[in-house]
């Protein structure tokens, strides 16, 4: 797109609105404002214009400003009380300490705009002290803050988090079934944990197929945006436009998730029952701990690849009994190692002691084999806890256990 063409035909610049849906009500709660340029009867994206580094900042600022004003005019005319998500480049925003953007908003405030209806989407790889100051100030005025493309931020994440963002926007563009590795999914999962810890809501965007919507639902997405739900439109829409579809999909996801959870519980139950039998025999025959490990590994051959016993503080009371190249071996170097530092370790020990029941862990990557596994832990008594690491192959064969 030719920048001069845009600058000489500013009357063709127009805001488009892409609806953002809520997970709790399945209605539209706001719109991301996107720049479009009318050409040959088509509204073309101004993305290339905004991403063109050759175009002077003044041009970008002028077009940004125009889109903002036209969008705010539309908002006030429509009186639909929705929120507008406004994109701003962090670098341009700090050029005048955020003054100009704010002056436009104040101008519209006099005409009836509520600043709390504005969500500022900031993107950029860096967060300077100046930007942090500007964003914090905006927040005191009631403007909400969203961090755009959070999955692309690395070193500056903590600075943005310092500004108490209301929303973290995560693109699911690269998340397509069977083509994305587990590591990327784990990374997205860690973002959902971060959002929860800092009290921000997750907004998943670029949802283009059902699988991505399901992913967003399962990973704590409070807001959804993307072509699967609705493309950017020239006008505001009926807030309930996708209520039926979202409700129906949500119910399907719930059924699917419950089935998976039931499978996990059934597996845990069957391991529990079988272990009770084995350990009852072990108690009668007064076998050593190592002999118990051998008996357990033999019984669960084909399911597990590592077994060991720890005390209630996480110190190993045995060697690891480990299946290496198809053969079981003892690894004495693990004796007396401590695992209390691992996430959930002590919490799980207490749960097992209180309920006198074993626990099946969530999926995680084994630190030695790097395989995705689950661990079944089981209280032998108040002082000894048995751990059984379950192989990826086994979980893969049991449909639903890798989900």
- Work out the number of other CB atoms within 10 angstroms of the CB of residue 102: 19
CB nearer to Ca ion: give 33 or 246: 33
* Nearest approach, Cβ of residue 376 and Ca ion (Å): 43
Strands (E), 166-209: 167-171, 201-205
* Nearest approach, Cβ of residue 32 and Ca ion (Å): 6
DSSP designation for 363: -
CB nearer to Ca ion: give 167 or 264: 167
* Nearest approach, Cβ of residue 87 and Ca ion (Å): 5
CB nearer to Ca ion: give 148 or 389: 148
* Nearest approach, Cβ of residue 223 and Ca ion (Å): 12
* Nearest approach, Cβ of residue 101 and Ca ion (Å): 15
Distances (CA, A) of 47 to 51, 92, 226, 354, 385: 6, 16, 16, 58, 58
| Distance (Å, whole) CA 299 – CA 278 | 9
- Work out the number of other CB atoms within 10 angstroms of the CB of residue 62: 15
Which residues have a Cβ under 8 Å from the Cβ of 209 and sit 6 or more positions away?
176, 228
Contact status, residue 180 vs residue 174, Cβ threshold 8 Å: yes
* Nearest approach, Cβ of residue 163 and Ca ion (Å): 17
> Cα Rg for the chain, rounded, in angstroms?
27
CB nearer to Ca ion: give 30 or 358: 30
Which residues have a Cβ under 8 Å from the Cβ of 346 and sit 6 or more positions away?
314, 340
CB nearer to Ca ion: give 87 or 377: 87
**Helices 99-109 and 57-78 meet at what angle, rounded to 10?**
20
Which residues of the shown chain bind Ca ion in the complex (CB under 5 A)? Answer: 87, 121, 148
CB nearer to Ca ion: give 97 or 206: 206
CB nearer to Ca ion: give 31 or 215: 31
Note the Cα 59 to chain centre separation in Å. 35
* Nearest approach, Cβ of residue 34 and Ca ion (Å): 8
């Amino acid at each position: 797109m030719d920048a001069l063409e845009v600058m000489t035909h500013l009357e063709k610049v127009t805001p488009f609105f892409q609806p953002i849906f809520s997970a709790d009500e399945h209605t539209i709660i706001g719109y991301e404002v996107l720049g479009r340029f009318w050409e040959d009867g088509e509204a073309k994206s101004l993305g290339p214009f905004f991403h063109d580094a050759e175009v002077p900042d003044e041009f970008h600022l002028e077009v940004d400003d125009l889109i903002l004003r036209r969008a705010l005019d539309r908002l006030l005319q429509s009186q639909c009380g929705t929120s507008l998500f406004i994109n701003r480049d962090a670098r341009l925003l700090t050029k005048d300490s955020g003054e100009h953007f704010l002056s436009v908003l104040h101008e519209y405030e006099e005409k009836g705009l509520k600043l709390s209806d504005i969500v500022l989407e900031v993107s950029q790889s860096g967060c300077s002290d100046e930007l942090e100051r500007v964003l914090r100030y905006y927040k005191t005025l009631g403007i909400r803050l969203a961090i755009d493309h959070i999955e692309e931020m690395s070193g500056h994440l903590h600075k943005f988090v310092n500004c108490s963002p209301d929303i973290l926007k995560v693109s699911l563009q690269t998340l397509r079934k069977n083509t994305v590795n587990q590591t990327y999914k784990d990374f997205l999962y860690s973002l959902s944990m971060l959002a929860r810890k800092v009290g921000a809501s997750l907004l998943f965007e670029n949802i283009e197929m059902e699988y991505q919507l399901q992913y967003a639902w399962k990973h704590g997405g409070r807001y959804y945006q993307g072509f699967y739900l609705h493309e950017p439109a020239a006008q505001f829409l009926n807030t309930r436009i996708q209520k039926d579809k979202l409700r129906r999909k949500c119910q399907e996801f719930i059924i699917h998730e419950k089935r998976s959870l039931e499978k996990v519980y059934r597996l845990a139950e069957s391991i529990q029952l079988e272990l009770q039998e084995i350990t009852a025999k072990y108690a009668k025959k007064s076998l050593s701990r190592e002999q118990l490990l051998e008996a357990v590994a033999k019984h669960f051959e084909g399911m597990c690849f590592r077994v060991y016993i720890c005390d209630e503080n996480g110190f190993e009371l045995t060697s690891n009994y480990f299946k290496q190249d198809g053969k079981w071996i003892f690894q004495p170097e693990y004796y007396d190692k401590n695992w209390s530092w691992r996430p959930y370790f002590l919490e799980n020990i207490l749960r097992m002691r209180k309920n006198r029941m074993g626990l099946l862990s969530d999926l995680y990557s084994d630190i030695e084999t790097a395989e995705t596994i689950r661990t079944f832990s089981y209280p032998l008594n108040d002082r000894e806890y048995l751990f059984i690491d379950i192989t990826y192959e086994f979980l893969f064969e049991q449909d639903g256990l890798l989900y």
